[in-house]
C-alpha cells in the first residue's frame, strides 16, 4: 500500500510538472503585447488593385484584376470560413496555394499572428524599382557562371547600374556594387568565398552511401513569359507545358541552376542536407553547450543526440511557412515580380499610366531585356511563372531561415569547413577552393541566402521578400528552442546562436 501511494504521488507530481511547463509556455505568449500588422497601404491607395497579388483571378487585357472578383477574394480571405474558400473566383485551371494556412495554430513556439515584419516597399517607391532592376539583371545573367562574374560584360554592367540607383539595398564596397557583391547579401560570412554555400556542393552522407550534389537543370537560354499573350494567359490561371531539361546533371554553377534547385525542392532538403553534412564531421562540429560532449559515461540520443538534431532542424520548416502564409494572405498581398513586369511593359508601350519610379523605367536592364525578347516583361525561369500565392515574405526564406537558425544553435558556428570546394564553370566537377577559411556560421548564412535568392534568380521574388522571410523563420526557431529549453533533465546552459543581424543570443 505504501509503495502504491509513493507511485501515485510520483505520477501526480510528474503530471503537475508537465502542466506547469505547458501553462508557463502558454502564458509567455499570452502576455506578449498584441501586435499590429502594418502593410504598405497600396491596396487602399490603388482602387484598381494594380499593386497587389491577383494571379489566378480574372484579368483584363492589361493584366489588371477584375475588381469585383478581387473584392470577393478579400471577403473570403477575411472570413476564415473553410466553406467560403470553395467559392474563390478563379479564372483558369490553377488553384491558390493554401490560403487557409494563414489561420493554422501551432502548439510549440509563437503563434504566426504574433510575429511582425515591416511593410513591403510600396509600388511607386525607389526601393521596389531597385529590386526590379536587380531582377531584370538576374534574368539577363542566368547562364553566366558565378566564377566568371568578374570578367563578363553583363555582370559588370549589372554591378555598375545597381551602384547608380537611388535606393538599392544590396551589399556594396565603398558605396559601390561590385561583381564580388553582385546578387549577394551582407549576412555575416555570406560574402566570404564562393557565391554558393559548401552545403550545396559537398557530398551528403546518407545512410550507407553518399549523395553527389549534381542536379537536373534547364537548358541554357530557356526563359519564359516574355511573350505578352503567354504572360496574360498565365495571369488568368492557365497551365503551360513543362520546360526543356539539360540531359546532364550539374553542380550548381550559375543562377539558372540555383533557380531550378529551388523549383524542385519541397521544403526541408537544403537544411536536412546541411545537417547531414555537419553530422558527418563528428562531434567536433557540434555546439559546445551540448551537455554530453564532456560526459565520461553517456552520449545523447533522443535528447542532444542525432535524432534530436534532425528533428529540430526539420520540424522548424513548417511553422516557418505558416508564419509566412499569414503575412502573405492576411497582411500584405504583395504583387509578384512577374505582375510588376506587366505593369512596366504596359507603361513603357503607352497602354497604361502607372506611378512607377523612373529608376526602373529608364534602366539599362529593362532596355537590354527589350532588345533580347521584344517585350519589357520580366523573363521567368519557370514556364508557369510564380506560384499562386502572394510575394511577401518569401516562403523559401522563411523555412530556410528557421532551419538555419536551428543549425546555428545545434552546431559550432566557428568550426571551419574542411576541404572546401568550388564548382567548375561547366558544373561537371568540383575544384579545391583556395581562400579565406569558411566557417559553419558563414556558410549557413550563405546557404540561407542562396535558397532565398534562387527564387529571385527565377524571377518570382524580390530581395526584401527574402530578407524579411529570414526574420520570420528565425523567430519561429527561437521560440521553439525557448519552449523546449525547460523540458530537459540534463544540466544544460542553453542554446547560443548568432542571429541574421549579427547579434549573439543565448536561449
**Cα–Cα distance for residue pair 39/122, rounded to 1 Å:** 9
Q: Is 316 helix (H, G, I), strand (E, B) or coil?
A: coil
Half-sphere exposure of 439 (CA within 13 A, CB side): 15
Cα separation, 202 vs 180, whole angstroms = 22
Distance of alpha carbon 498 from alpha carbon 100, whole angstroms: 33
- Distance between CA 498 and CA 487 in Å, rounded? 23
Residues 6+ apart with CB under 8 A from 201: 213, 251, 252, 421, 422, 423, 430
Nearest partner of 395 among 479, 322, 312, judged by Cα: 322
Distance CA 487, CA 447 (A): 30
For 136-202, give the DSSP string: HHHHHTTTS-GGGTTT-HHHHHHHHHHHH-TT--S--BTTB--TTTTT---STTTTSS-SS-GGGTS
CA distance 350 to 10: 79
In 3D, which of 325, 316, 324 has the Cα closest to residue 476? 316
Task: Exactly one of 113, 263, 332, 396 is catalytic; name it.
Answer: 396
Three cell numbers written together for 24: 508557463
Active site residue 396: yes
Q: Which of 59, 345, 389, 461 is catalytic?
A: 389
Active site (annotated) includes residue 263? no
Contact (CB, 8 A) for 248 and 419: no
Which residues are identified as catalytic?
389, 396
Amino acid at each position: 500500500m505504501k509503495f502504491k501511494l509513493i507511485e501515485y504521488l510520483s505520477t501526480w507530481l510528474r503530471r503537475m510538472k508537465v502542466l506547469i511547463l505547458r501553462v508557463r509556455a502558454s502564458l509567455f505568449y499570452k502576455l506578449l503585447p498584441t501586435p499590429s500588422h502594418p502593410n504598405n497601404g497600396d491596396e487602399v491607395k490603388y482602387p484598381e488593385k494594380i499593386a497587389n497579388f491577383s494571379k489566378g483571378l480574372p484579368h483584363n487585357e492589361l493584366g489588371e484584376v477584375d475588381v469585383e472578383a478581387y473584392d470577393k477574394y478579400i471577403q473570403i480571405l477575411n472570413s476564415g470560413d473553410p466553406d467560403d474558400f470553395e467559392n474563390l473566383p478563379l479564372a483558369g485551371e490553377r488553384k491558390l496555394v493554401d490560403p487557409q494556412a494563414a489561420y493554422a495554430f501551432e502548439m510549440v513556439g509563437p503563434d504566426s499572428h504574433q510575429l511582425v515584419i515591416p511593410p513591403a516597399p510600396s509600388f511607386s517607391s525607389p526601393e521596389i524599382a531597385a529590386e526590379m532592376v536587380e531582377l531584370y539583371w538576374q534574368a539577363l545573367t542566368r547562364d553566366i557562371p558565378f566564377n566568371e562574374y568578374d570578367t563578363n560584360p553583363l555582370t559588370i554592367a549589372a554591378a555598375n547600374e545597381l551602384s547608380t540607383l537611388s535606393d538599392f539595398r544590396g551589399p556594396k564596397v565603398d558605396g559601390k556594387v561590385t561583381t564580388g557583391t553582385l546578387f549577394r547579401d551582407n549576412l555575416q560570412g555570406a560574402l566570404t568565398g564562393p557565391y554558393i554555400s559548401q552545403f550545396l556542393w559537398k557530398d551528403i552522407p546518407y545512410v550507407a552511401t553518399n549523395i553527389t550534389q549534381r542536379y537536373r537543370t534547364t537548358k541554357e537560354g530557356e526563359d519564359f513569359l516574355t511573350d505578352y499573350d503567354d504572360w496574360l494567359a498565365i495571369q488568368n490561371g492557365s497551365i503551360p507545358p513543362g520546360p526543356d531539361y539539360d540531359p546532364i546533371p550539374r553542380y550548381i554553377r550559375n543562377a539558372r541552376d540555383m533557380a531550378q534547385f529551388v523549383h524542385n525542392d519541397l521544403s526541408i532538403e537544403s537544411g536536412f542536407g546541411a545537417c547531414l553534412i555537419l553530422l558527418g564531421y563528428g562531434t567536433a562540429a557540434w555546439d559546445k553547450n551540448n551537455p554530453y560532449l564532456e560526459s565520461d559515461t553517456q552520449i545523447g540520443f533522443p535528447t542532444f543526440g542525432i535524432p534530436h538534431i534532425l528533428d529540430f532542424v526539420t520540424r522548424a520548416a513548417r511553422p516557418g511557412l505558416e508564419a509566412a502564409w499569414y503575412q502573405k494572405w492576411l497582411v500584405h498581398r504583395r504583387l509578384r515580380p512577374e505582375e510588376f513586369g506587366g505593369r512596366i511593359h504596359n507603361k513603357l508601350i503607352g497602354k497604361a499610366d502607372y506611378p512607377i519610379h523612373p529608376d526602373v523605367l529608364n534602366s539599362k536592364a529593362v532596355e537590354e531585356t527589350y532588345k533580347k525578347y521584344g517585350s519589357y516583361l520580366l523573363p521567368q525561369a519557370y514556364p508557369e511563372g510564380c506560384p499562386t500565392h502572394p510575394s511577401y515574405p518569401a516562403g523559401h526564406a522563411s523555412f530556410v531561415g528557421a532551419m538555419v537558425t536551428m543549425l546555428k544553435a545545434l552546431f559550432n558556428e566557428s568550426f571551419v569547413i574542411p576541404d572546401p570546394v568550388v564548382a567548375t564553370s561547366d558544373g561537371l566537377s568540383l575544384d579545391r577552393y583556395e581562400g579565406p577559411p569558411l566557417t559553419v556560421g558563414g556558410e549557413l548564412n550563405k546557404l540561407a541566402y542562396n535558397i532565398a535568392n534562387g527564387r529571385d534568380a527565377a524571377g518570382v521574388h524580390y530581395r526584401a521578400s527574402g530578407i524579411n522571410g529570414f526574420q520570420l523563420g528565425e523567430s519561429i526557431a527561437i521560440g521553439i528552442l525557448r519552449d523546449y529549453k525547460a523540458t530537459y533533465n540534463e544540466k544544460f546552459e542553453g542554446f547560443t546562436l548568432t542571429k541574421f543581424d549579427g547579434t549573439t543570443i543565448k536561449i
